[in-house]
């Protein structure tokens, strides 16, 4: 028997979601993964990832077939053309590099399919504009997974990845559907995770936005996990529900009709005893940048464009921008003038100096 031809896949971003997705793709035996890592490259090269997976069990040491610190250049012949690029990084357009700039060296025009396994809405627009002849797929993850320390992944729920094509007007829809179904088959090959094919990309993304714009944002702002936010009770009625209702109204104005009881499903998205810390809360705790633009900024801009009132969402957007600005200051991306000096009070003033990173 001849050997099975494997799909050549580049995975960029090895946090809680990206690591489990990459492992699952290789576990199916139909894909070879090249992983791009930065901060944890040396650690993973030396001892691999430790993964506790809800679906695959305990994996004490794993690394992709190939690992790299930089994005491979597919145009210089040093690597074979990638069939898929799976982008699992945070989508933070206000912090360079953008997704387009990041993946550009690895994209083979007309061949490489780009899978955006990222949060938010309107994320496909700059990618399709930059790569008009390439299929772009939406990947929406519904698992809870986090990198609890460098190289250690804790995945506490079943891996469900909802896949479908973003509509690219430059391509035949038939081709987009075929590519999406093929990637779904790759994801299901291990028989552990669930790759769910769904063409209703806008519906799926706005449905998840109900969770991310509410829980993800408010956990980041308050420092409370999803369970504590619910157990406090008043945030449910005064913050979570108003945000969800506003997201539903914006989606409806765009022609996306979420189910009537979407707010109930969203509120119960995590079990009350999960004490889950969503990604933006984890980012704040680690002094990392948040995906606030694609999760909250884009819905706010759509609301403004369509004339849909979104007062709670707009306030939350302003608060998140302030937190993002604080992180930028701590990382030296915003220049601050030196603090005023008070002669004779140097020792006292040291207590008021901003902490350096």
Eight-class DSSP state of 21: H
pLDDT score, position 2:
53
Question: Residue 152 in 3-state DSSP?
Answer: strand
The Cα 9–Cα 32 span in angstroms is 6
pLDDT score, position 1:
45
pLDDT score, position 124:
98
Instruction: Let me know: does 24 contact 194? Beta carbons within 8 Å.
Output: no
pLDDT score, position 3:
64
Q: Pick the closest to residue 244 from 223, 273, 220, 264 (CA basis).
A: 264
pLDDT score, position 77:
84
User: Beta 49-53 vs 152-155: how paired, if at all?
Assistant: parallel
User: What digits encode the pLDDT tens for the residues 300-342?
Assistant: 999 999 999 999 999 999 999 999 999 999 999 999 898 788 8
Residues of the chain with pLDDT under 50: 1, 357
């Amino acid at each position: 028997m001849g050997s099975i031809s494997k799909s050549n896949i580049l995975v960029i971003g090895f946090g809680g979601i990206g690591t489990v997705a990459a492992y699952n793709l290789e576990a199916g035996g139909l894909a070879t993964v090249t992983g791009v890592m930065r901060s944890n490259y040396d650690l993973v090269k030396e001892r691999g990832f430790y993964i506790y997976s809800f679906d695959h069990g305990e994996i004490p040491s794993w690394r992709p077939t190939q690992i790299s610190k930089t994005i491979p250049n597919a145009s210089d012949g040093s690597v074979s053309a990638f069939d898929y690029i799976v982008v699992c990084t945070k989508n933070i357009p206000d912090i360079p590099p953008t997704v387009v700039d990041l993946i550009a060296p690895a994209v083979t025009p007309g061949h490489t399919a780009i899978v955006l396994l990222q949060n938010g809405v309107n994320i496909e627009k700059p990618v399709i504009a930059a790569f008009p002849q390439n299929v772009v797929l939406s990947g929406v993850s519904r698992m809870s997974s986090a990198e609890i320390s460098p190289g250690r992944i804790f995945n506490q729920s079943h891996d469900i990845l909802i896949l479908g094509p973003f509509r690219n007007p430059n391509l035949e829809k038939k081709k987009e559907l075929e590519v999406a179904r093929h990637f779904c088959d790759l994801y299901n090959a291990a028989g552990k995770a669930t790759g769910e094919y769904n063409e209703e990309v806008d519906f799926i993304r706005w449905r998840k936005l109900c969770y991310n714009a509410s829980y993800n944002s408010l956990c980041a702002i308050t420092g409370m996990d999803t369970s504590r936010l619910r157990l406090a009770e008043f945030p449910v009625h005064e913050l979570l529900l108003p945000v969800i209702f506003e997201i539903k109204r914006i989606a409806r104005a765009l022609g996306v009709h979420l189910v009537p009881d979407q707010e109930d499903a969203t509120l119960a998205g995590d079990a009350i005893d999960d004490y889950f810390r969503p990604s933006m809360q984890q980012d704040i705790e680690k002094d990392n940048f948040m995906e606030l633009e694609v999760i909250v900024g884009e819905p706010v801009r759509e609301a403004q464009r369509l004339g849909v009132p979104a007062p709670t969402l707009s306030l939350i957007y302003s608060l998140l921008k302030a937190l993002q600005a604080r992180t930028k200051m701590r990382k030296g991306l915003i220049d601050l003038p030196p603090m005023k000096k008070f002669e004779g009070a140097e020792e006292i003033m040291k207590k008021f100096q901003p902490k350096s990173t």
